[in-house]
Amino acid sequence: MSRVVLVLGDQLSPNLSALIEADKDTDLVVMAEVRAEATYAPHHPKKIAFLFAAMRKFAARLIREGWQVAYTRLDDPDNTHSIAGELARRADQHGANEVLMTEPGEWRLRDALSDPDSYKTPTKIIQLSDTRFVATQTEFDAWAEGRKQLRMEYFYRDMRRKTGLLMDGEKPVGGQWNFDHDNRKPAKGKDLFQEGPSRFAPDDTVNEVLDLVEREFPSNFGALRPFWFATDADQARQALDHFVDQRLETFGDYQDAMLQDDAFLSHAVLGLYINAGLLDPLEVCQAAEKAYENGKAPINAVEGFIRQIIGWREFVRGIYFREGPDYTRRNALNHQRKLPDMYWGGETRMACMAAAVSQTRSEAYAHHIQRLMVTGNFALLAGINPAEVHEWYLAVYADAYEWVEAPNVIGMSQFADGGVVGSKPYVSSGAYINRMSDYCKGCAYSVSAKTGEKACPFNVLYWHFLIRHRARFESNPRMGQMYRTWDKMDENRRETVLSDADTLLRNLSDNKPV
């Protein structure tokens, strides 16, 4: 018996279940750069380059370790340009009658690759679970079953118990599960600036891929160069060590801060490496835990960081596969407006949006609060169609794969799942952005103006959102106060706010810059 063993672009881990199951002597590992994957979203050029370079290096590593690998480059003349096509072609060449894979992280590919009609010769298809996560889907489903509301915090505690991370026997280290009340300090200017993430000069493999991506995807949104991402496990480990040494200490404090001239602040910039398989999530958490034990980082930073990985990251994955393939099409608030051009770099007078988008264009990166409270908040307030918002996020960030992106966008950010991920929508007026960033002082709008031409768009749209969804949210205990504030407002003022918001929304629909 011989098999073809698929390794996808986000499965670049030596401990991948399919590789552990496979036989080095008889099986053929198949890896392929294909158009179907490179174009299902208009990916940022840096994201494509990162994955292709990391795939090439991982294939070279497997060959060094004694595997037989059939690697298809994007410009190979025989490339069939789909994963199923390449598996079928390689199976034919190798005389294989079985396909072995670790289940892909997306319904689209999972369904396509488990369909026997996708292949010519192989008859047996084996999809193994992806064991690179703390929780199995069965565990997540069992945890979720019967609960009225799924809350990350309780699931996270189980993951702490399961991994033993920051545990003192049965108790959480420091006597609390969550130290968030010590976190989230506002942006204070210069003292926040950090050295930034590790940067790696492109080697020959990376340069070859950069030339290919430049040639093949010339009009995708995003700057390909300068390219500095890690592209193999050793480099990613260096990036992890650098983060733990230099920025973990202040991760908690400045987790929510935003600065015009610092895209990364104390964030790890490791998500792209973890998601592609270059770093193991537990290895990352253990490195952070060790920094706490050695007195190099405080508990609020380390607990907050570990929670993002064994809490949020695991939780959103569980939701994605529990909710099913239609999740990305949900639109609970019936938002239908088109995504404005400003998301693709079109003109805007909003300094915060311009900063978040321009940073996204240059780095294929924005940190959580920029994604949630700037670009996400604006899309939600402005009633943008969540499917379009989802497609944008899936395309522009180097760490974006549907299993993690969709629950964050459709669920957390756009409330389009009607409250599966979050109990209330993440919306705010300009005051929040002003408190957490230095954007407003350079903006054409005034964050303190609540009505009129200079009024910050977040200020008027915030009320418009609350009012147009009053029936849904008024009884939410965490939102009732806002409706009471609105009801106490002078009636003329309320009318002006809503009519200013209508004008703004009309301008957006007419594709006029706001």
* Tokens representing residue 117 in the block: 């009609």
Identify what 43 binds: ligand FAD, ligand DLZ, ligand SF4, none; CB under 5 to 8 Å per kind.
ligand DLZ
Binding mask 389-408 for ligand FAD (x = CB under 6 A): ----x---x-xx---xx--x
State yes or no: residue 43 binds ligand FAD (CB under 6 A): no
Element (H, E) at 359: helix 351-363
Percent helix / strand / coil, the chain, rounded to 5: 50, 5, 40
Least gap, CB of 79 to ligand DLZ (angstroms): 10
Nearer to ligand FAD, 275 or 429 (CB): 275
Give the Cα separation of 130 and 104 in Å (integer). 8
Residue 190: Cβ within 10 Å count: 8
**45 burial class (0-12, 13-18, 19+ CB within 10 angstroms)?**
buried
User: Whose CA is closest to 236, among 54, 52, 9, 10?
Assistant: 54
State yes or no: residue 8 binds ligand FAD (CB under 6 A): no
Least gap, CB of 313 to ligand SF4 (angstroms): 29
Contact (CB, 8 A) for 186 and 171:
no
Identify what 57 binds: ligand FAD, ligand DLZ, ligand SF4, none; CB under 5 to 8 Å per kind.
none
Give the Cα separation of 237 and 280 in Å (integer). 10
State yes or no: residue 284 binds ligand SF4 (CB under 6 A): no
State yes or no: residue 378 binds ligand SF4 (CB under 6 A): no
Q: Which stretch binds ligand SF4 (CB under 6 A): 32-40, 102-110, 135-143, 427-435?
A: 427-435
Nearer to ligand DLZ, 27 or 37 (CB): 37
User: Whose CA is closest to 440, among 182, 255, 186?
Assistant: 186
Q: What number of CA atoms fall less than 13 Å from residue 187's CA on the CB side?
A: 26
Least gap, CB of 498 to ligand DLZ (angstroms): 42
Least gap, CB of 130 to ligand SF4 (angstroms): 39
Give the Cα separation of 340 and 282 in Å (integer). 39
Instruction: Give just the sign of the alpha carbon dihedral 353, 355, 358, 364.
Output: negative
Identify what 422 binds: ligand FAD, ligand SF4, ligand DLZ, none; CB under 5 to 8 Å per kind.
none
State yes or no: residue 458 binds ligand SF4 (CB under 6 A): yes
- Is the omega angle on the peptide bond into residue 226 within 30 degrees of 0, that is, cis? yes
Contact (CB, 8 A) for 413 and 427:
no
* Tokens representing residue 129 in the block: 């679970």
Q: Which of residues 248-267 bind ligand FAD (CB under 6 A)?
A: 267
Least gap, CB of 394 to ligand SF4 (angstroms): 24
State yes or no: residue 185 binds ligand FAD (CB under 6 A): no
Instruction: Give just the sign of the alpha carbon dihedral 262, 415, 345, 394.
Output: positive
Least gap, CB of 14 to ligand DLZ (angstroms): 17
State yes or no: residue 440 binds ligand SF4 (CB under 6 A): yes
State yes or no: residue 352 binds ligand SF4 (CB under 6 A): yes
* Tokens representing residue 38 in the block: 């490179």
Least gap, CB of 300 to ligand FAD (angstroms): 14
Q: Which of residues 271-290 bind ligand FAD (CB under 6 A)?
A: 271, 274-275
Q: Which residues bind ligand SF4 (CB under 6 A)?
A: 350-352, 430, 433-434, 439-440, 443, 445, 447, 456-458
Q: Which residues bind ligand FAD (CB under 6 A)?
A: 267-271, 274-275, 305, 308-309, 312-313, 316, 367-368, 371-372, 376, 393, 397, 399-400, 404-405, 408-409, 412-413
